[in-house]
Amino acid sequence: MTNNHVVDGADKVEVTMDDGKTFTAKVIGTDPRTDLALIKVEGRKGFPFAKLSDSKPRIATGCWR
């Protein structure tokens, strides 16, 4: 995930890791209103992540309450 203004109008998207390795990424979707963009990094798996919750969400994903 990144900001929409970062990828808006980009012909090519690359992600550079802390170790200097660079990967090509594909823009999956954008939302200019919230300034969010979803990208998929090609050729890389096993990114570190932070688990935010063990419980199921109380509302459906994408529901703006």
pLDDT at 42 exceeding the cut of 90: no
Burial of 60 (0-12, 13-18, 19+ CB in 10 A): exposed
Secondary structure element (H or E) that encloses residue 17, with its range: none
Residue with tokens 């919230």: 34
> What single DSSP character describes residue 60?
-
Identify the band that residue 35 occupies on the pLDDT scale cut at 50, 70 and 90. Answer: very high
pLDDT at 51: 77
Stronger pLDDT, 21 or 31, i.e. the higher one:
31
Instruction: Determine the length of the chain.
Output: 65
Helices assigned H by DSSP within 1-65: 4-7
Q: Are 15 and 39 in contact (CB under 8 A)?
A: yes
